[in-house]
Amino acid sequence: EHNRVCDVLKRQHPDWDDEQLFQTTRLILIGETIKIVIEDYVQHLSGYHFKLKFDPELLFNQKFQYQNRIAAEFNTLYHWHPLLPDTFHIHDQEYTFQQFLYNNSIMLEHGLSHMVKSFSKQSAGRVAGGKNVPAAVQKVAKASIDQSRQMRYQSLNEYRKRFMLKPFRSFEELTGEKEMAAELEELYGDIDAMELYPGLLVEKPRPGAIFGETMVEIGAPFSLKGLMGNAICSPEYWKPSTFGGKVGFDIVNTASLQKLICNNVKGCPFTAFHILPPEPTEATINVSTSKTAMEDINPTLLLKERSAEL
């Protein structure tokens, strides 16, 4: 995509040198990435039936800081290793973690088109609900817990109260079932002692969604604030001249995941953060298949009243 956009800018500005083409294209790709993350990625992960919109001008009259900092808790809750399937299905072959990781020959063997198509068809794992971290990456989950203890994070319920959510009254209310609830009660003794990261992974998932309530209600404001906090979204930068004129600005404002793939992959394979029904699968389904119509929503609604927490 970087090379494609460079070619577009070169035709528009034949007098530009390589450095100006590179730096301007870099800004365009940052804008494309933010738009795709908000309107395709965060949209899907939220599980909500409203349509998120990337429009930096919505925040121009708000008290808002443009910066590159994130909270440690956001970094921790973003450890979504349960999303990883037990094996990777590429074209007509199956690969284990050991075979797949750091192995560029798989890309060379199957090609980008087959890789994109295969990943779009295979269901990811479920994050919430417990007992779903692949064995190959359980050490990462342990490291996340160890780090949160070293940094003296507060309990899950304390974070829920901080983000205006009702604290859980029991382990069974947290998990939505009895078996894990009993194990957790034996381990922690009191629901108010439940740690943040394990709590996020064992919380009962929302209907038709991949996360529990806590993950979404804490993660969404952090995510949108971080994305909209990029300098290119500020009033000083959000204008056509930043992106090489109207053509570059239009590339940013019309970006989508599907368009990104179609512009760079032969055959324009279908690409999305959900699988197309009704293909049967034995993998854990973690996506919503609701067809409810979506309505535009101002992202500032998810940021307002929470600036103190962020």
Binding residues for heme b: 81
Q: How many angstroms separate the CA atoms of 228 and 273, rounded?
A: 21
Annotated binding site: 81
Q: Which of 208, 134, 163 is nearest to 306 (CA)?
A: 163
Instruction: Output the 3-class SS for the chain.
Output: CHHHHHHHHHHHCCCCCHHHHHHHHHHHHHHHHHHHHHHHHHHHHHCCCEEECCCHHHHCCCCCCCCCCCCHHHHHHCCCHHHCCCCEEECCEEECHHHHCCCCHHHHHHHHHHHHHHHHHCCCCCCCCCCCCCHHHHHHHHHHHHHHHHCCCCEHHHHHHHCCCCCCCCHHHHHCCCHHHHHHHHHHCCHHHCEHHHHHHHCCCCCCCCCCHHHHHHHHHHHHHHHHCCHHHCCCCCCHHHHCCHHHHHHHHCCCHHHHHHCCCCCCCCCCCCCCCCCCCCCCCCCCCCCCCCEEECCHHHHCCCCCCC
β-sheet bridge partners, residue 195:
155
